Structure 1
Amino acid sequence: MLITIYTKNNCMQCTATKNMMDKLGLPWQLVNLDEEPAALEDLKALGYRQLPVVMADEDHWSGFRPDKLIRLTQVQRAQG
């Protein structure tokens, strides 16, 4: 499962998301919008106005969502 976190510097919810993903042992890659501002337009086109935006296969959401992160752990385990 490929998980991408779109974040910016000094984003508290982004930090909370990354910390929880590490704690859960979920692999992830980071796209920092301060360093890659072009990606922001893609997120806006999808209707996102809040960070972080987490994209995991077919599922995606914005904000710090512990419930969604725990669900990703369950999906990852089921996939083996």
Structure 2
Amino acid sequence: MEYQIIKADMAQDEEKHYLGHVTFTLAGHQSQYEITLFSKNGKDWDYSLNFAGESGIEEEFLKADELLEEDDDMFDALVDAAMESMAK
């Protein structure tokens, strides 16, 4: 599915854990989404998906979450966008 990254950030805390956020849109979806990313080592990622801003259509949200679970390339692109923000 086509997606567009709107903004991304990543930081490390005092224990060197990674915490990042990526705001993005999906083609055909009315809402923007924000994924919060967390990793202790920068390789194994946990995430939480939320609407960015106002709540939207639940069916679209569930489809977005399913897409993140199934589309490794898209998930990796979101992580990469957040990681690249650290280098700037």
Scaled by the length of structure 2, what TM-score is found?
A: 0.29
Structure with bigger helix share is 1
Larger Rg: 2
Structure with bigger strand share is 2
* Bigger relative CO (Cα 8 Å, ≥ 6 apart): 1
